Amino acid sequence: MADDTTTVAALKARVADFVHAREWEKFHRTANLAKAISVEAAELLELFQWREDSQPLDAATRHRVEEELADVLIYCLSATNSLGVDLSEIVLKKLERNEKRYPAKEWRGRARDPSVER
């Protein structure tokens, strides 16, 4: 897989080049990207809108899922560029925090109860 050798920095640079070639830095500010990430996340969700969750994905829908997921990722990569933060670092830190919040022993096989208000 390309993922084995592709660094996060390489993907971030590729996205920065795309944005720069169009002089879109003025649009790709964090506040706008927060909107863009929600919009693309909804385009991904739309592919599952009228189907049972358990229904398998046919090849054509699966291809669309990959494209919409890529759009979410592209805007997330652009947001780490716009914030000037280390994507790997914020992901690893958040996973460590989640590990404390959801200890494996306590949460094995269990999801949060939706009826309990946070």
Which 88-107 residues touch a copy of itself, going by CB under 8 A?
88-95, 97-99, 102, 104, 107
Minimum distance of a copy of itself from residue 87's CB (angstroms)? 6
- Within 56-85, the residues that bind a copy of itself by CB under 8 A are 57-58, 60-67, 69-74, 76-77, 79-80, 83, 85
- What residues contact residue 29 under an 8 Å CB cut-off, 6+ apart? 82
Applying CB under 8 A, does 53 fall inside the site for a copy of itself? yes
In this structure, what token pair is assigned to residue 31? 């506040």
Residue 88 CA neighbour count, 13 Å, CB half = 7
